[in-house]
Amino acid sequence: MENNNPRLLAVQVLSRVAKGSYSNLTLDGTLRKAHLDPRDAGLLTNIVYGVIQRQLTLDFFIAPFIRGKKVDDWVLVLLRTAVYQMKYLDKVPTRAIFYDSTEIAKKLGHAGVAKFVTAILHRMDREGFPKIENIKDPAERLATGSSTPLWLTSKLIKQLGMVQASAILDSIDTAPNGVLRVNRTKTKRDDLAKVLSDRFPDLHDSIVSPVALVTPGGHLAGTDEFRAGEYTLQDESSQLVAPSLRLRPSDKVLDACAAPGGKTTHIAEYLDPAQGGKVTALDLHAHKVKLVAQNAARLGLADRVDAMTLDARKAQDEFAAGSFDRVLVDAPCSGLGLIRRKPEIKYEKTQQDIDNLSRIQKDILGSVADLVKPGGYLTYSTCTMVTEENQGVVTDFLAKHPNYKQVEVAKDAALSLQHSEPALQLFPSDYGTDGFFIASLQRTE
């Protein structure tokens, strides 16, 4: 078997991901080294992300054929890749899956492992897989079918109801769209769409953001227009944050958790440096602050952005009370709204992570409260879907800061699907975006 066989590479990538490597970085590095033709590169990518997205479902299918027998981690990964292809890829012949799986077992193990793998695959083909619909408990059935840990599935059912939780979890195994945000200081959406149409024929307007263009596939960061700063990459739901701040050209803005700078540069587009408009962008890590500055420079917005290394929880030590017209806290969070884009998140996070993050979120929000001028606005946002990190944090903040009130989130697009008013919560099942939460708070005195 050749070393650049896409099924062999998929097993190697997934084995490294199982040991803690990032799926996107590991896959990108493998693709660069392997020099695959487009068809094989597509198969490799499909298997890697498909197996990660459906890992728990695949294990449910495999379990009765192993019957509790201990197998090496890489053998389990190999079986997952084979079952994924058998269940979810229509155009892959079963004989090709069986042959390559056996050869991979020989290459990575020995003849005995190959015999074991071959026997299991033939039994699966002969006897068929267990049926998810036969699982009696509704939460367990949804968890298994959507490949989501039971604790997280049960939490979403408890907080959102079975109908909403099912809609979300049934939607997350589709591939995410590519999304760009037009840099309005350099071009217009219609003009950019026309320029890019030869390379992205399916590019179309977003209904969530008036400055977003969406495409089901393609490498949006690989164009001359991207390098020239005519657009940046940012999910549609994330593009709702800057409008929520009700920005004016002369505003002084603090972006307290800024890296890598997508929202910072969006805020900067609303500001006029000639009128004093400026956004101060903070991040805990110096290398991430550098990313913010690089993004601002590429987009031609560096004269409106001050990027600096600072823990947002210490912002009140650096800036005087009432220094800013607007403050954004796009808080570190569990990222559970990004499951479609980063499927391994759902296996990694725990309730303890959520509890710890909730405490940090409350600390950050409290630390910037006095920096907002009376009458100014404070936006709190996350890319997650659980109450503890969203309205729970806002409610705690309002109880401790009676000089603030929660107001409706300002938007520049009409959204028929949204939740948690006066906050704005989007779920991945609403518009095919990332899940996102935004709350708008006004300082009254």
Whether the predicted pLDDT of 436 surpasses 90:
yes
Give the strands of the sheet with 204-205, arranged side by side: 204-205, 212-215, 178-182, 231-233
| pLDDT digits 0-9 by tens, 200-246 | 999 999 999 999 999 987 778 889 999 999 999 999 999 999 999 99
Model confidence over 376-398: pLDDT tens digits?
999 999 999 999 999 999 999 99
Q: Please give the share of the chain, as a percent, with pLDDT higher than 90.
A: 82
Report the C-alpha gap between 399 and 234 in whole angstroms.
Answer: 33
More confident residue, 222 or 183: 183
Q: What is the pTM of this model?
A: 0.90
For the residues of 121-163, what is the DSSP string, one character each? Answer: HHHHHHH-PPPGGG--SHHHHHHHHHT--HHHHHHHHHHH-HH
- Pull the structure tokens for residue 38: 């487009």
Establish whether 311 is an annotated binding residue.
yes
Q: Is the Cα torsion angle 328, 349, 21, 59 positive or negative in sign?
A: negative
* Concatenated DSSP letters of 336-370: GGGTTTSTTHHHH--HHHHHHHHHHHHHHHHHHGG
Give residue 3's pLDDT: 82
Check the annotation: does 193 bind a ligand.
Answer: no
- Selected catalytic residue, list 305, 383, 386, 424: 383
- 370 annotated ligand-binding residue: no
383 is catalytic: yes
pLDDT at residue 2, as a whole number: 82
Q: pLDDT (tens digit, 9 = 90+) per residue, 300-352?
A: 999 999 999 999 999 999 999 999 999 999 999 999 999 988 888 899 899 99
Q: Please report the pLDDT score of residue 288 as a whole number.
A: 94
- By DSSP bridging, strand 436-443 and strand 372-382 are antiparallel
pLDDT at 330: 97
pLDDT tens for 71-117 read 899 999 999 999 999 999 988 889 999 999 999 999 998 989 999 99
Query: Strand pairing of 178-182 and 231-233?
Result: antiparallel
Stated length of the chain = 445
pLDDT tens-digit profile of 253-268?
Answer: 999 999 999 999 999 9
pLDDT at 35: 84
Using an 8 Å Cβ cutoff, are 236 and 206 in contact? Answer: yes
Q: Name the token pair of 294.
A: 């690089």
For residue 222, what pLDDT is reported? 83
Please tell me whether 28 is known to bind a ligand: no
